[in-house]
Structure 1
Amino acid sequence: MLTEVTATRYVTPLREGGSLPGIVEADDLGTYVMKFTGAGQGRKTLVAEVICGQLGRRLGLRVPDLVQIQLDPVIGLGEPDQEVQELLKASGGLNLGMDYLPGSLGFDPLAFEVSPGEAGRVIWFDALVGNVDRSWRNPNLLVWHGRLWLIDHGATMIWHHNWPAARGAAEKPYDASDHVLASFAPDLEAAAAELAPLVTGELLAEVAADVPDEWLVEEPGFDSPDALRRAYAETLAERAATTLSRIALGPRRAEEPSQAPDWLRVRVDGKAAR
């Protein structure tokens, strides 16, 4: 279960994110990047953040701590930005917070070296959860105290937006040709050997249990939050066993060339063109 805190002050919006997350202070004296239930992407974005964030942490990847944040809409009354004020008013109740990493920098693949082992683990994990938002265009990686941290998993598990077709969607290949870590000679075989055995039904059930009931209710086709949690766990468990075989890592087809800069493209032999 995620720790629950209460927001005491809204500090500033982070306009880099499409959902307009914001930095808030809470009653535990912590500072968090808060993602709101009232944002346009809806509560499924928060579900994806919890399941994938907690799963990543359990697999040994560096993901900031997650908390549940209670928000009193009255906080928005003094906000001068009308867009932010409306978002705060629409997000009363339970929201999601990610531990703020002060002084962290956005990942720059030209300035920060990533080992083949770590690159392989991140790409394998992204393939497991179907992360479409870790490309060179938008890495969603931070460097903090000299280490790589994974953030923003709201665009994962796209299949949960259409559960009747989820099984087929989850079986699709994962195109990593434009992944921001593709140029670091990722050791995918080692990553699969290390991580796949850890993705058990028990682990996935524990991770899914961290999602609050109120973000899972009234999902068509499911009679309870627990039934929906089982669907998440079963879909990810089936994918874990074959994740390695689903990863396409290499240059795109000639008729669909990568738009990545030359320094980021991956040659046929798997070595980075840097």
Structure 2
Amino acid sequence: RARQTIAQADRHAGQRATRFLEANVEIERLGRNLARVSGQFRDEIIARQAAEQAREDVASRLASLQQAAMLLRSKVADYQLHNERLTGKLSAQMLVQQDLQVRLSTLEHQRGVLGDCAAAAQERAVELEKRLRSLQRGAADQSVVRATPGVGQRAEDVAEHRRQTSETEIATLRQERDAARRDYGAVKVQLADLRLRGMTDELAHARCRDENRQLHQRLETLTRQDPPSGPAADDNADLERTFDELLAAGEIGAANDGGPTGGTRKAS
């Protein structure tokens, strides 16, 4: 019985040793699983932190892009307003230019009419001067005839009548000549005034053409103006490129969700 009891005790001890070894193996396996789970949990925390940081970066970039878009819209509105102002000013200048062209045409026509009047007045004055000289010569001849002895009374009366008629006609012609000269002088004054007005209008017309050309150039410059250059242009280009990349990658949608789940899945 003692041997049986000892053998049974040995079996129990062997069984306990076996269970102890199995327990040690299970403990080691559980330790390895715990270490693996801890590593996964740590990686998950790191991934969540990275996703949160990425979401904040995306939100910051999106805010920058929105601000840049607002600035660009404001600049476009300013350009449109400036363009409308220039267009209105150009239309007004075109009307002024057309009015000046009409005035120049009218002045040119008046100048031609007055030139014709001046030429006619001058011709009339020359003709009257010739007739006056002719009458003066005729009066002198009649005086000579009157002074010649042997001329009859009737011939003398006729000569006297002709002389008086010639003197009257000479006085009339002198008045007409003086009037023609005055008309010619007045026409010359009007022509000088028209020339002065024409020069003034031509200068105004030239200035108006220059202003219109400058307005056309400014409008063309605004129409085909390139994007702004310099650091601001580089920043806008970078922001637009980043925005396109984020849209293509789908990160903006994750940032707008407000939670880290989408960002965590993207980062993991």
> For the superposition of Structure 1 and Structure 2, which TM-score range results when normalised by the shorter chain?
under 0.3
- In the superposition, the TM-score normalised over structure 1's length comes to 0.15
More strand per residue: 1
Which structure has the higher relative contact order (CA within 8 Å, separation 6+)? 2
